[in-house]
Amino acid sequence: MQSPTLTRISPNSVVSPGEVLQFTCTTPSPTCISVDFSLYKTGTLIKNQTAETTTTFTLTVDESHQGQYTCDYSYRESNSTSSRSNSITITVVNLQRPKISFSAADGWSHYRPEGPEMIKGYGFSIICSTEPQYQGGFFHLGFSGSNITRTQSAVNHSAVFLFPEADFDHQGNYRCTYEVNVSSRTFTSTPTEPLFVTVKVYLPPYIGIGVTAGLLLILVPVIICFMKKQKRRKFQRDKNNDSQCAKNTYEFPQAEIETDGEDVYENAETIFCQKDDSENLDNDYINFEADEERSDANVVYINVDAVEQRRKMDNDYEDAEIYANCVE
């Protein structure tokens, strides 16, 4: 059996992850029966398809798709397989993310959690680097505060961007990207994480001392004036307190006199009430004696009536006896 023909439909043999790669495998002569086609990468079967005469293999590229591709076919009835087709080499370019770093002379910068801090007027450098994958290439340094991007050729897979004199315009986020040409195609890496550079003004020691002395000259008179005011206020408060104490001392005896007068008045009322109560008790006692005498008189009166009634009964009894004797 004659070998088939493998053709690359995709325009480029150098691709990057995510691109679509297509091949066609065609038999030497047209057939009217089903043919089983197989696609190989570096001798390893990766895909099977059934068609008549020709078929198309479609792949979504990742790093594993780099290598040499071939195909063959077989007839089901004869149970025989053709020889392999011509080979096509595919290169997958997968650029690693570069690295970014900061450099400055000792004493003119220091690192903070959010990034390096640079003194205004002094130079610093930003270094872009990448893993050795391809020779040559370029590094691009992007800055968030400007649309201008600086570019330098990669030397030993790195590039140094110099800033001779730091200024406030240089404060912001920096990012590096790496670019390389492979088989007439340009590939660009993903950018680095942002590096934030802060620029601040440096105050020499003598300026700091002068500023401190000036502040002291301003603050000392203010403090003295404040202390005098506080002392004057304290003296005035003490004076007011002494006057209030003297006033309270003068008013206290008057209050005692008024209190004594009220006590005498209350005692007089008490004596008067006690006198009234005593007179009421005497009247009650006299009334009680009168009631006692009246009761005794009533008793005597009752006893007299009883004697009179008994006397009448005796007289009636004697009259009855006399009458009886006369009749006899």
Q: What is the pLDDT of residues 149-180, one digit of tens each?
A: 899 999 999 999 999 999 999 999 999 999 99
Structure tokens at 132: 């050795």
Question: What is the domain range of residue 175?
Answer: 99-202
Helix (H) or strand (E) holding 199: strand 195-200
Residues 47 and 73 in one domain: yes
Residues 104 and 189 in one domain: yes
The pLDDT assigned to 224 comes to 82
157: left (phi over 0), alpha (psi -120 to 50) or beta: left
Helix (H) or strand (E) holding 40: strand 35-41
CB atoms near residue 200 (< 10 Å) = 13
The pLDDT assigned to 70 comes to 97
The pLDDT assigned to 172 comes to 92
Q: Residue 82's closest CA among 72, 93, 92?
A: 72
The pLDDT assigned to 193 comes to 94
Query: CA 306, CA 313: separation in Å to the nearest integer?
Result: 11
Residue 121 lies in a domain: yes
Ranges under pLDDT 50 in the chain: 206, 250-307, 314-328
Residues 198 and 104 in one domain: yes
Q: What is the pLDDT of residues 82-112, one digit of tens each?
A: 999 999 999 999 999 999 999 987 766 777 8
CATH of the domain at 121: 2.60.40.10
Count structural domains, the chain: 2
pTM above the 0.75 mark? Answer: no
Which domain-ending residue is among 62, 92, 122?
A: 92
Residue 323 lies in a domain: no
Residue 292 lies in a domain: no
Query: CA 23, CA 39: separation in Å to the nearest integer?
Result: 9
Residues 198 and 107 in one domain: yes
**Residues 6 or more apart from 53 whose CB is under 8 A from it?**
26, 27, 30, 31, 35
Query: CA 64, CA 44: separation in Å to the nearest integer?
Result: 12
Question: Which amino acid, residue 212?
Answer: T
Q: Residue 178's closest CA among 157, 147, 194?
A: 157
